[in-house]
């Protein structure tokens, strides 16, 4: 591939991050690293996507596309994070331990379902029949939600509700928490969606 010696783990990282030209020869040997972001074709094939979250403020969400799916990145407020433990008894699988959660990466099998507590990365597709849940970040009583609502998501199709960690409430049609895709931090403010250290 190249005369430049590269150990395989480093090479994987370079391919995954789309780090164009960082090591001479690799960029030409692997076509989709020739631009900063993967090409449309590579994205469709599942290439990882880099996201700069330096502008994301507490309470905000950005959506990126990975493998044709919407991936939400949400910066939770201290209040939203503080509410999570109080909800455990109302949730179907608060620690993402059920068999259905087999795909939940190890680093997301915690209450916040995330690597950094404040940043949630989740696939925005309901685990029931695939609708896209709506943001219901504002706490308090409102249509289709309980009076003590602490913020989260409501799936408009059949009423499944999820908390601010994408954890599904009990006795809802959705059988599982929202999927957490493989992801990792390339720096303090740069996320890579679709690859993690084990890749
Ligand atoms: S698709 Fe979300 S509740 Fe049915």
Among protein residues, the one whose CA lies closest to atom 1 of ligand 1? 129
Confidence at 170, pLDDT banded by 50, 70, 90: very high
Write the pLDDT tens digit of every residue in 55-88. Answer: 999 999 999 999 999 999 999 999 999 999 999 9
pLDDT on residue 21: 30
In the block, residue with structure tokens 């493989």: 182
Asked whether the predicted pLDDT for residue 169 surpasses 90, the reply is: yes
Taking the centre of ligand 1 as the mean of its atom positions, its distance from the CA of residue 172, in whole angstroms, is 9
pLDDT interval class at 13 (50, 70, 90): very low
- Residue-wise over 13-45: b if at least 16 C-beta within 10 A, else e? bbbbbbbeeebeebbeebebbeeeebeeebbee
> pLDDT tens across 20-34, in order?
333 333 333 333 333
- The finding on whether 199 has its CB within 6 A of some atom of ligand 1 is no
CB of residue 109 inside a 6 A radius of ligand 1: no
**Strand 190-193 with 69-75, pairing:** unpaired
Question: What per-residue confidence (pLDDT) applies to 4?
Answer: 37
Q: Which letter, b or e, does each residue of 50-62 get, where b requires 16 or more Cβ atoms within 10 Å of its Cβ? A: bbebeebeeeeee
Backbone angles phi, psi at 42, to 5 degrees: -65, -35
Centre of ligand 1 from the C-alpha of residue 79, in Å: 27
Where are the chain's structural domains?
A: 44-193
Q: Which fold has domain 44-193?
A: Rieske Iron-sulfur Protein (2.102.10)
Nearest to 165 by CA among 102, 129, 115, 103: 115
CA 40–ligand 1 middle distance (angstroms): 29
Helix (H, G, I), strand (E, B) or coil at 94: coil
Which pTM was predicted? 0.78
Distance 183 CA to ligand 1 centre (A): 25
Q: Which band of pLDDT confidence, cut at 50, 70 and 90, is reported for residue 42?
A: low
| Ligand 1 site, residue 157, Cβ cutoff 6 A | yes
């Amino acid at each position: 591939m190249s005369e430049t010696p590269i150990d395989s783990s480093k090479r994987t990282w370079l391919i995954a991050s789309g780090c164009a030209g960082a090591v001479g020869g690799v960029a030409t040997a692997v076509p989709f690293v020739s631009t900063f972001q993967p090409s449309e074709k590579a994205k469709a094939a599942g290439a990882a996507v880099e996201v700069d979250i330096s502008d994301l403020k507490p309470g905000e969400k950005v959506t990126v596309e990975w493998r044709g799916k919407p991936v939400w990145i949400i910066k939770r407020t201290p209040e939203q994070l503080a509410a999570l433990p109080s909800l455990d008894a109302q949730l179907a699988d608060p620690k993402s331990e059920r068999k259905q959660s087999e795909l939940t990466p190890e680093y997301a099998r915690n209450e916040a379902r995330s690597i950094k507590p404040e940043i949630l990365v989740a696939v925005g597709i309901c685990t029931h029949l695939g609708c896209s849940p709506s943001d219901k970040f504002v706490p308090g009583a409102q249509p289709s939600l309980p009076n003590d609502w602490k913020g989260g998501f409501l799936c408009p199709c059949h009423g499944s509700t999820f908390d601010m960690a994408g954890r599904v409430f009990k006795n809802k049609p959705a059988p599982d928490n929202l999927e957490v895709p493989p992801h990792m931090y390339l720096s303090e403010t740069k996320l890579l969606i679709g690859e993690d250290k084990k890749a």
